[in-house]
Amino acid sequence: MAEYKPNTSWPHRMMSFQCRQADLNRLVMNYLVTEGYQEAAKRFMAEAAVKPGPHMNTIGDRQRIQDAVRVGQVKYAMDLATRLYPRLFETDNYVFFHMQQLRLIEMIRDQKVEKALKFAQSKSSGFSKVDPRHFHEVERTMGLLAFDRPEYSPYGDLMYYSYRQKVAGQINAAMVRCQDAENKVQEDEPMEPRMMFLIKLILWAQNKLDREGYTDFHKINFDHGDFEEEFRRSFQGF
C-alpha cells in the first residue's frame, strides 16, 4: 500500500485555521485567574473587556496561600486553605501528603532534626497511612536527615525552590477543583486552565509530527526567552 502523503502543506493548513481573538482572550483570562495571577488578570480584564470567570473571587486567597508555600510557611498555608475549603485535605489525599512532606522538609532545612523526626512519626503527619505509591517519596525525604548538608545530597532537589513552587501549584489546583465541585461546574468544564491544556496539546502535536517525519511546519519554541513574543509570532496571520 502506497504511503499516504497529504497534498496540503502544514503551513497552508495552519494559515487556513481561523482563531478568533475573543477565544484567545478567554484562554488567557482562564489561565491568569486559575493560576492566581491577580494583578495581571485585573489588567487583562480591563484591556480585553473579558469576563473573569467563577474563580476570580478566590484569586486573592489562593495567591496568599501559594505565596506562603513558596516561602516555606506550609502550616500557615494549610490553615488558610482549610479555612477557605474545610474539606480540602479530606478529599485530596495527594495534595495533603505533599503539603505534609513539605512541612517535614522545612523542618529539616531549619536543622530541627528532633522536631522533624517527631513530626514524621506522629499520627497527624499521615505518613503512617501513606499511599504505597508515595513510599519512595517518604524514603527520599527521610533520607535528607542522613546528611549534614542535605541540599547537596542525592535528594537535594527536594530542598530547591522549584519544589516549593511545584507544591504551591498543586494546592492551587486542588482549591480550584474544590471550588468547581462546590459550584457544581458542568462536567465538560476542564479542571485545569485551558491555556495549559492548549500548550500540552501543541506539544503533543509537535512530537507526533516529528515522529511521523514532517518537517514543513513551524515548531513553537517553549524555551524561548520571551515566550509571549514567540507565541505571538507563531500565530501571526491566524
- Predicted confidence at residue 198, as pLDDT, reads 64
The pTM of the full predicted model, rounded to 2 decimals, is: 0.67
With b for 16 or more beta-carbon neighbours within 10 A and e for fewer, the 5-31 pattern comes to eeeeeeeeeeeeeeeeeeebbbbbbbb
Say if residues 217 and 10 touch (Cβ distance below 8 Å): yes
Cell match 504511503: residue? 3
What does the domain layout of the chain look like in residue ranges? 1-53+192-238, 55-184
- Predicted confidence at residue 2, as pLDDT, reads 45
Say if residues 109 and 159 touch (Cβ distance below 8 Å): yes
- Predicted confidence at residue 128, as pLDDT, reads 81
- Predicted confidence at residue 220, as pLDDT, reads 65
- Predicted confidence at residue 215, as pLDDT, reads 66
- Predicted confidence at residue 193, as pLDDT, reads 56
The rounded average pLDDT for each run of 10 residues, N- to C-terminus, in the chain (238 residues) is 49 53 74 78 80 79 94 96 90 89 96 94 87 88 93 94 94 88 56 59 72 68 53 50
DSSP codes of every residue in 163-229: HHHHHHHHHHHHHHHHHHHHTT--TTS-SS-HHHHHHHHHHHHHHHHHHTT--SSPPP-TT-SSHHH
